[in-house]
A and B are shown apart, each in its own frame.
Chain A
């Protein structure tokens, strides 16, 4: 029997490899979530992306504090989330008076709580303490030692880090809301804020936080009342569907949605509806007295 030339054996092996490849390829797709990768980053980093996303979100926070930020050795004192990045900033626009009246503000905080949060944040950021020795004292002359926040247009400097954080971990909801807050309130980039939030909503369809912020974009910036109402109502539904069962429901999130809805209805002249929302807000508010005062005011108008 004549021996086959090696080239034929090689061709046969190539054909076998190709055939096996076509059989195995669709199966391997279900072996690992990585196979569902939509982007190069997802393929390369897998679940490790969220770690990098946290790093970049922290970079945004460092930028927000102008480089003054605790190191890993002071980490116990570091801010635990990015809420302080929007807390107490206010919007300086129509609607803020109402928020004050009902005890809420853009920073998702009650006023008393806002002050408390600011104090706690200030305390957390005084991590340096007095110099421990002569080297420590001298070394501080070469580093940033004062706690400050970016103001006005300078806030744009946090955006690249937030964008990267969102690309790395699209399910990190804070990234979208914080970026949108600065885009619409300080940089006047309403369109970009809306697009970014919509991208976030696509990735996190059940997020009431993103919907709440999106409603703010429509109502406070684009003046589209009907869309804002729809979005906020949807946000409230999402909250009611997800949060009550949780150990620590985000009551402030609900309060903010109700506050916004009440503000919208009051501005539209639907005082009865506004009172309805305010009553719900009162149940969740740590400062119900202020809300009751506003309810009384509106009730008088209805009569």
Chain B
């Protein structure tokens, strides 16, 4: 356990030494604040567009951070040849995978906290409402989604050779699931056999990342998601993450580390 914590610590330190988060946060804050200063028909109570833009930027930033960070972990260790002394400590390969995963996930969580505190302050000062519970729920679901994303990218970093191709493919897969995942069943029903069965099988197999996207509920001030449903979704994310990490470990165990 200590090994995993130590490995995670290294990833988190790397995160705050790099400029990625700062740049993305400043950009998000700047764009949101500039948009907030725009005058629409002399009405200063218009706020939903601002929440929508801010949340969109937070989501984009979080995906960039998660995918960017996770994609370079193992390839960087191999490229710098630090993977050999690391494994000679001795640290087992599953500890490397878990350490890297927890490091990336916790680092994403820390970034998300900063983003959501900014969002809470922004919407609270404009709307004069503080739906902390809802934001907490949104944060929890968002962070759970990032666990799956980090797991997916770590698997990619073991299977694919270059971090750039891994990051690109991961982005396409994640965005594809977010945009189309929910509708694959509708698409499947409109297809002839056997395409219908194939598409429906894909629908059941892919991790349904779109469940974790409750931005609309926040933007339009809708109900809270049931806490039971929230926990179930988080458990779903946990199972998928474990599965992805398991596959990553199997692939990593068999992988020759020489360049």
CB within 8 Å of A: which B134-172 residues: 141
The contact string, 1 if C-beta is below 8 Å from chain B, for chain A 236-248, is: 0000000000000
| CA–CA, A157 and B217, complex, Å | 15
Is A136 positioned at the interface, with any CB of B under 8 Å from its CB?
yes
Given contacts A63-B48, A144-B220, A156-B46, contact A136 B185 (CB under 8 A): yes
CB within 8 Å of A: which B186-238 residues: 186-187, 189, 203-204, 208, 210-214, 216-217, 219-220, 222, 225-226, 229, 232-233
Given contacts A63-B48, A71-B183, A73-B186, contact A143 B216 (CB under 8 A): yes
| CA–CA, A293 and B6, complex, Å | 87
| CA–CA, A87 and B258, complex, Å | 69
In the complex the two chains form, is B43's CB within 8 Å of A159's CB?
Answer: yes
In the complex the two chains form, is B43's CB within 8 Å of A132's CB?
Answer: no
In the complex the two chains form, is B220's CB within 8 Å of A67's CB?
Answer: yes
Is B80 positioned at the interface, with any CB of A under 8 Å from its CB?
no
Number of interface residues of A (CB under 8 A): 29
The contact string, 1 if C-beta is below 8 Å from chain A, for chain B 45-59, is: 111110000000000
In the complex the two chains form, is B43's CB within 8 Å of A189's CB?
Answer: yes
| CA–CA, A241 and B208, complex, Å | 56
Enumerate chain A residues within 8 angstroms of B217, measured Cβ to Cβ: 67, 142-144
| CA–CA, A66 and B208, complex, Å | 23
| CA–CA, A36 and B198, complex, Å | 52
Q: Which residue of chain B is the closest to A193 with respect to CB atoms?
A: B41
Partner pick for B46 among A136, A144, A159, A192, CB 8 A cutoff? A159
Is B78 positioned at the interface, with any CB of A under 8 Å from its CB?
no
In the complex the two chains form, is A142's CB within 8 Å of B233's CB?
Answer: yes
Is B42 positioned at the interface, with any CB of A under 8 Å from its CB?
yes
Is B253 positioned at the interface, with any CB of A under 8 Å from its CB?
no
| CA–CA, A133 and B233, complex, Å | 16
Given contacts A138-B229, A189-B42, A192-B41, contact A67 B49 (CB under 8 A): no
CB distance from A189 to the nearest CB of B (A): 6
CB within 8 Å of A: which B20-61 residues: 38, 40-43, 45-49
CB distance from A219 to the nearest CB of B (A): 21
Enumerate chain B residues within 8 angstroms of A222, measured Cβ to Cβ: none
Is B182 positioned at the interface, with any CB of A under 8 Å from its CB?
yes
A/B interface sample: 23 pairs, CB < 8 A: A63-B48, A132-B186, A132-B189, A135-B185, A135-B203, A135-B208, A138-B211, A139-B182, A139-B208, A141-B225, A141-B226, A142-B217, A144-B217, A144-B220, A156-B41, A156-B45, A159-B43, A159-B46, A160-B46, A160-B49, A163-B40, A189-B42, A189-B43
Query: Which residues of B are interface residues toward A (Cβ below 8 A)?
Result: 38, 40-43, 45-49, 141, 182-183, 185-187, 189, 203-204, 208, 210-214, 216-217, 219-220, 222, 225-226, 229, 232-233
Query: Which residues of A are interface residues toward B (Cβ below 8 A)?
Result: 63, 66-67, 71, 73-74, 132-133, 135-136, 138-139, 141-144, 153, 156-157, 159-161, 163, 179, 183, 187, 189, 192, 196
